[in-house]
Amino acid sequence: MATLFSNATVLPMTSSAEGPHTFTGSVGVAGDRIALVSPDESAAAEFRAAHPGLREIDCRGRLVMPGLVNTHCHAAMTLQRSRADDLPLMRWLHEFIWPFEACQTPDDVALGMELGIVEMLLGGVTSFVDMYYFQHRCVGVVERLGIRAVLGCNYFDSNIDEVLPQIGEAVRLAAGSDRVRIAVAPHSPYTVSPENLVRGRELAERHGLLLMTHVAETRDEVRIVRERYGATPVGHLDRLGVLTPRTIGAHCVHVTDEDIAVLAARGVTVSHNPQSNMKISSGVAPVARMLREGVTVTVATDGPCSNNDLDMWEELRTAAFLQKSATGDPCALPAREALRLATANGARAMGCSEGELGVLREGALADLIVVDLEKPHLQPVNDAVANLVYCGKASDVETVMVGGRIVVENRRIPGVDLPDLYARAAEAVARIRTAK
């Protein structure tokens, strides 16, 4: 069935910085693609005539825009939300996070993934890039809930021989999907040896997969990599041939000017995780400088126990404010550019071609959200983009469509019993704590 979103404030994210950001008009969807984006009522009438029986959604007081893309998270870590806070990164990992994960079953990971996806969908995230374990068990969860995802199979030196077959299984399970892609995800250059980083790179090349890894997240990581390999994390990965246009580097906080030039030259996508970096006191990524030098930068939440949520609206606001504060320049990372990091740039990170995702244009994938503007914190609408980035909240998202299918309507996800989901998550956490 075709769908027409009419009488909407439309934010297509396609105009130049100088052009108009929004217009009042309609967005028509046929199949899994956007078939109409127009301020012309006669065009809307023609769409109605061409699609008898379509569903029309009156969007008066609403804004229609591309869905948000979260380019780095560990969604299944919802089960560890607020379990271990206010700790240095290495102690946090070694004493709390990794011991908990050692007791998780594949079913626990699938459950945590379900909770994470529900949170993201209700907040307007239509696509996400994940890095975690047992991703072959999560393909079905993604398919059932209707979101779009890149599932990165995370490995260390200690478990690579266990994970590599899981990558093959995940690739097989996702082969017929138009919304799920698989990626190779070595944890980082300080937890994975050069030999195993190369094994991951070769596997990604063989199957045409994306590759993601944590890069230069902390000063400790930079020190460890320099001591072992005589290079920065970026330089070390570059020597190994890991950095390509199909690579997503999460964090990239402690990067040199030379590192930034390498990231730009190799076409690497950087996933900026401002709130997680702030909470763990990792530092401030030089986003404004990376953008100036031509690096593709995106915004992401990181995991829900280092953030502690999966709210991309908070992340956008923080990313913009943090760059202004860190650079001393109030013009750094303006609202429209920040929003682009979470839409069109995020689509590039997922391997989509220009204009295929992250924008509202005819022929693009129909991944879009409807935001309720009739909220006190979003009125008056002097500048819709500034309102979204600086004032927007996850709870403002009313309707979510992915691939032409409405997966959230009136803030409800069909087929999801939220109280039951919360109860199952609590039971799993209680069992894992007892097992420890």
- In this prediction, residue 91 carries a pLDDT of 85
- The annotation status of 101 as a binding-site residue, yes or no, is yes
Q: In whole angstroms, give the CA distance from residue 75 to residue 297.
A: 21
Identify which of 57, 81, 145, 215 has the alpha carbon closest to the alpha carbon of residue 407: 145
Cα 120 off chain centre by:
9
Q: In whole angstroms, give the CA distance from residue 167 to residue 184.
A: 7
Q: In whole angstroms, give the CA distance from residue 28 to residue 9.
A: 14
- In this prediction, residue 106 carries a pLDDT of 95
Strands 148-155 and 368-372: unpaired
Q: In whole angstroms, give the CA distance from residue 235 to residue 218.
A: 15
- The annotation status of 136 as a binding-site residue, yes or no, is no
One pLDDT digit (tens) per residue for the chain, 436 residues = 899 999 999 999 997 655 668 999 999 999 999 999 999 999 999 999 999 999 999 999 999 999 999 999 999 999 999 988 988 777 888 899 889 999 999 999 999 999 999 999 999 999 999 999 999 999 999 999 999 999 999 999 999 999 999 999 999 999 989 999 999 999 999 999 999 999 999 999 999 999 999 999 999 999 999 999 999 999 999 999 999 999 999 999 999 999 999 999 999 999 999 999 999 899 999 999 999 999 999 999 999 999 999 999 999 999 999 999 999 999 999 999 999 999 999 999 999 988 999 999 999 999 999 999 999 999 999 999 999 999 999 999 999 999 999 999 999 999 999 999 999 999 999 999 888 6
Phi/psi of residue 260, nearest 5 degrees: -60, -40
Q: Please answer whether residues 39 and 24 qualify as being in contact, where contact means their C-beta atoms are separated by less than 8 angstroms.
A: yes
Domains plus CATH for the chain?
3-66+363-408 (2.30.40.10), 68-348 (3.20.20.140)
- In this prediction, residue 93 carries a pLDDT of 84
- The annotation status of 293 as a binding-site residue, yes or no, is no
**Count of positions (residues) in the chain:** 436
Q: In whole angstroms, give the CA distance from residue 116 to residue 332.
A: 31
| Residue 405 amino acid letter | R
Please confirm whether the linkage preceding 70 is cis (ω < 30° from 0).
Answer: no
- The annotation status of 214 as a binding-site residue, yes or no, is yes
| Residue 73 amino acid letter | C
Identify which of 173, 199, 78 has the alpha carbon closest to the alpha carbon of residue 128: 78
Q: Please answer whether residues 338 and 291 qualify as being in contact, where contact means their C-beta atoms are separated by less than 8 angstroms.
A: no
Using CA atoms, how far residue 370 sits from 145, 272, 381, 401, in Å, is 18, 25, 16, 9
- The annotation status of 315 as a binding-site residue, yes or no, is no
Q: Please answer whether residues 37 and 18 qualify as being in contact, where contact means their C-beta atoms are separated by less than 8 angstroms.
A: no
- In this prediction, residue 20 carries a pLDDT of 66
pTM of the entire structure?
Answer: 0.97
- The annotation status of 74 as a binding-site residue, yes or no, is yes
Q: In what order do the strands lie in the sheet with 180-186?
A: 68-73, 125-132, 148-155, 180-186, 210-215, 247-251, 269-272, 296-299
